[in-house]
Structure 1
Amino acid sequence: MKRYLYLWHRWLGIGLCLLMALWFVSGMVMLYVGYPKLTPGEHLAHLPELPERDCCIDLAQVFAASGRDEAPQSLRLSSSEGRPRYLLGYADGSGVTLDALDGRRIERVDEAGALASARQFDAGARAHYLGLVDEDAWTHSRALDADRPLHKVQLDDAEGRLLYISSHSGAVVRDATRNERVWNWLGAWLHWLYPLRGPWWSNLVIYSALAATAMALLGQVVGVLRWRFSRPYRSGSRSPYRGGFARWHHIGGLLFGGVVIAWIFSGLMSMRPWHLLDSRSTLTIASYQGGSLRAEALALPVQEALARFRQAGLHPRELEWRMVGGEGVLQALDGNGDSRVLSVSETAEPLQRLPESTLRRAVQAMAPNTAFDLDELRAYDFYYFARAEQSMNGGLQRPLPVLRVRFEDAAGSWLHIDPRSGALLEQLDERRRLARWLFNLLHSWDWQPLLERPLLREVLMLAFSLGGLVISVSGVVLGWRRLRRWG
Structure 2
Amino acid sequence: MSNAAVSGARAPRWRQWLLRLMPWHRRLAILACVGIFSWAGSGMLHPLMSFMQARPATMSPPQQALPLEELLSPAAVLGAAGIDKVQGLRLVQIEGEPYYQARLPSADEPRYWHARNGNDADVLARHAEALARHYLASDEPLAYAGTLTGYKGEYAFINRLLPVARVDTGRENRLRLYLDLYHDRLGTLVDQRKAWFSGFFQTLHSFGWLEAAGPLRPLLMFILLACVMSATLLGLGIFVARKRAVSGLRRWHGWAGLGLALATLSFASSGAYHLLHKQRAEPMPRPFHANFAVADLAAAPEQAWLLPGESLYQLSLIELDGQPVWRAQGNQYGVMDSLHYLSAAGDEMTDDTPRRYASERLDHYAQALGLGEGGEPAMQHGFDHEYGFVFKRLPVFKREYTDAAHTTLFIDPLDGALAARVQDADRLESWVFGYLHKWELLGLFGNNVKHAVVALLGLAHVLLAVIGLSLLRRSSRRAS
Is TM (by shorter chain) over 0.5? yes
Within the candidate set 189, 200, 218, 1:190 is matched to 200
Q: Which amino acid aligns with 2:419?
A: E
Equivalent residue, structure 2, for 1:426:
419
- In the TM superposition, 1:408-419 aligns within 5 A as 408=403, 413-417=407-411
Equivalent residue, structure 2, for 1:443:
433
Are 1:329 and 2:325 counterparts? yes
The Cα offsets for residues 201-249 of structure 1, whole Å up to 9 and x where unpaired, read as 87686455334322222123213322317xx7146x9x997533x2355
Equivalent residue, structure 1, for 2:394:
397
- In the TM superposition, 1:176-187 aligns within 5 A as 176=189, 182=193, 185-186=196-197
- For residues 458 and 373 of structure 1, the distance between their equivalents in structure 2, rounded to whole angstroms, comes to 40
Verify the 8 A CA contact 1:279 1:428 in the aligned structure 2.
no
- For residues 247 and 219 of structure 1, the distance between their equivalents in structure 2, rounded to whole angstroms, comes to 12
Match of 2:38, SS state, is helix
The Cα offsets for residues 12-59 of structure 1, whole Å up to 9 and x where unpaired, read as 13323221222321222245455x6879x63513x643224234x423
- For residues 405 and 315 of structure 2, the distance between their equivalents in structure 1, rounded to whole angstroms, comes to 34
The Cα offsets for residues 261-288 of structure 1, whole Å up to 9 and x where unpaired, read as 1442255358x33xx212477xx765xx
Verify the 8 A CA contact 2:114 2:120 in the aligned structure 1.
no
Q: Which amino acid aligns with 2:43?
A: F
Match of 1:243, SS state, is helix
Are 1:50 and 2:54 counterparts? no
Q: C-alpha displacement at 1:330, in angstroms?
A: 2.5
Equivalent residue, structure 1, for 2:294:
295
- For residues 109 and 49 of structure 1, the distance between their equivalents in structure 2, rounded to whole angstroms, comes to 20
- In the TM superposition, 1:10-29 aligns within 5 A as 10-29=29-48
Q: C-alpha displacement at 1:434, in angstroms?
A: 1.7
- For residues 256 and 476 of structure 2, the distance between their equivalents in structure 1, rounded to whole angstroms, comes to 21
CA RMSD of aligned residues (A): 5.1
- In the TM superposition, 1:202-281 aligns within 5 A as 206-207=218-219, 209-228=221-240, 233-234=243-244, 242-244=250-252, 246-247=253-254, 249-266=256-273, 268=275, 272-273=278-279, 276-279=280-283
Unaligned ranges ≥5, structure 1: none
- In the TM superposition, 1:332-343 aligns within 5 A as 332-334=328-330, 338-343=337-342
Which range moves more in the overlay, 193-202 or 326-335? 193-202
- For residues 319 and 211 of structure 1, the distance between their equivalents in structure 2, rounded to whole angstroms, comes to 53
Q: C-alpha displacement at 1:189, in angstroms?
A: 3.5
Are 1:308 and 2:320 counterparts? no
The verdict on how the C-alpha distance between 1:198 and 1:19 changes in structure 2, with shifts beyond 3 A counting, is: closer
Match of 1:373, SS state, is coil
TM-score (normalizing by structure 1): 0.69
Verify the 8 A CA contact 1:129 1:153 in the aligned structure 2.
yes
The Cα offsets for residues 38-93 of structure 1, whole Å up to 9 and x where unpaired, read as 79x63513x643224234x4232454367566542x33333446644433335646
Verify the 8 A CA contact 2:411 2:420 in the aligned structure 1.
no
- For residues 66 and 459 of structure 1, the distance between their equivalents in structure 2, rounded to whole angstroms, comes to 59
Are 1:88 and 2:81 counterparts? no
Unaligned ranges ≥5, structure 2: 1-19
TM-score (normalizing by structure 2): 0.70
Verify the 8 A CA contact 1:128 1:155 in the aligned structure 2.
no
The verdict on how the C-alpha distance between 1:374 and 1:95 changes in structure 2, with shifts beyond 3 A counting, is: same
Q: Which amino acid aligns with 2:29?
A: R
Verify the 8 A CA contact 1:14 1:480 in the aligned structure 2.
no
| Number of aligned residues | 445
Percent identity, please.
Answer: 14
